[in-house]
Homo-oligomer: A and B are copies of this chain.
Amino acid sequence: MNDADDLPLSPVSEPGEVGLVAPSDFVSKESFVCDSGQVLPGYTLRYETYGRLNAARDNAILICHALSGDHHCAGIHSLSDRKPGWWNNLIGPGKPVDTHRYFVLCANVIGGCQGSSGPASINPATGRAYGVSFPGVTIRDMVRAQHRWLQSLGVTALHAVIGGSMGGMQALQWAIEYPSFVRRVIAMATTARESAQGIAFNEVGRQAILQDPGWNGGDYPRNGGPRVGLAIARMMAHITYLSDAGLDRKFGRRRRAVATTPGTATVTAEPAANEAAGAAATEGAGTAPGFASFEFEIERYLRHQGQSFINRFDANSYLYITRAIDAFDVAGEGSLEQAFAPVQAESLIVGFTSDWLFPPEQNRDIALALLRAGKRASYAELNTDLGHDSFLLESPQLYDLVRGFLR
């Protein structure tokens, strides 16, 4: 391994922070055959990079994002940004994924809606958005699309692939699909096969979207469409990312004083809706319906989550990406160890005790199968009460694990 300690600081970084970043587009004009057999005439991946590729080209680390994530995983896009990228706590100069040392890359997945090709992209053959005529995508499609992009950048091997949740699925698939390309895998809060319960939750979310009259067979204007259905899908999914104990500590049973028709506040289809506008006046002014004489803070929080999600996510992408997650099953008809047979990477698998979407056992099973297949793998189980989203949150324990494993 090359010693990257003497690489210069990236010029855009402030100490400890990646700083200002801007996304780029990789445009492939070659056709791409999806696992479904359907063919895209080409595709775009929007991506960001932090740090520099070294001369030996062996310090690249690929970050894979989860269902609602994107390519913007560290830094800020402008000085007025209130929030940095989604894994900014993990990635940066001197951070566990150290951008002094590593060349870090992250792309929006194919099928996504943050700049990469997906159902909202224009079909060159028709001049209109693909909608549901976009090919179905799989986790393997996401990985193969990323491989072409990395090659175009001159990246010939990955020091590591890192991801949580659906990002962890991609990391595992990378190690299987391109064994000689991947040196290390860190997969967190993930699974080698989506469970029936996971599929069930995804299906409820999809039904909420499909049933919204605004979905219209997948044909709707940008910033329009099944916004209410998407908000409901997000509200439900958001519960599965958290935990009973975490919600109890954060919200408990605290109620909130509200001035108008409390409890009937609803998510709305307006792009920039305020919550008051969503309150349905079901009786005379000021009279709350019988079932709605109070409101809990957790309800308001969830509605806010739903409302803000629909301003940044495309409903068709939600259908496609949840379907890719459902279809994910590394073992398929065989065993997990057989599936892992090609792997050359060393793996670190991390489970979180309070994650009930991808429970610790499902993570442990990955590590055990890797070991049975004769691979170098270790498993760490972190004690948290913050649920599935623990992998995104501040955790000195996780930082130490990642930092140590990457060296």
Binding site for B on A (CB under 8 A): 36, 38, 119, 130, 132-137, 193-197, 199-201, 203-204, 207-208, 210-211, 213, 217-218, 228-229, 231-232, 235-236, 239, 242-244, 247-248, 250-253, 263-264, 266-267, 280-283, 289-294, 296, 298-299, 302-303, 306, 316, 319-320, 323, 326-327, 329, 356, 359
Contacts and interface: CB of A to CB of B under 8 A. Distances in A.
Contacts of A263: 323
Contact of A211 (B119, B134, B228, B253): B228
A197 B281 CA distance: 27
A270 to B, nearest CB: 13
Contacts of A208: 208, 232
User: How many copies of the chain does the oligomer comprise?
Assistant: 2
Nearest to A282: B217
Contact of A232 (B195, B196, B207, B319): B207
Given A196-B248, A250-B196, A356-B356, A320 B302 contact: no
A168 B207 CA distance: 32
Contacts of A323: 263, 291-292
A320 B197 CA distance: 27
A33 to B, nearest CB: 14
Given A132-B289, A135-B290, A299 B203 contact: yes
Contacts of A327: 294
Given A196-B251, A217-B283, A292-B323, 14 more contacts: A132-B283, A135-B290, A136-B290, A196-B248, A196-B253, A197-B239, A199-B299, A200-B298, A200-B302, A208-B208, A210-B264, A244-B359, A263-B323, A356-B356
A143 B236 CA distance: 31
B204 A36 contact: no
A406 B86 CA distance: 56
A247 B248 CA distance: 26
Nearest to A320: B291
Contacts of A38: 290
A134 B290 contact: yes
23 contacts: A119-B290, A130-B290, A132-B282, A132-B283, A132-B291, A133-B289, A199-B298, A200-B247, A200-B298, A201-B236, A203-B296, A203-B298, A204-B236, A207-B231, A208-B208, A211-B266, A217-B282, A217-B283, A218-B282, A232-B232, A244-B356, A290-B320, A292-B323
A196 B280 contact: no
A136 B292 contact: yes
A296 B199 contact: yes
A290 B132 contact: yes
A18 to B, nearest CB: 34
Nearest to A135: B290
A224 to B, nearest CB: 16
Contacts of A250: 196
Contacts of A253: 193-194, 196, 199, 329
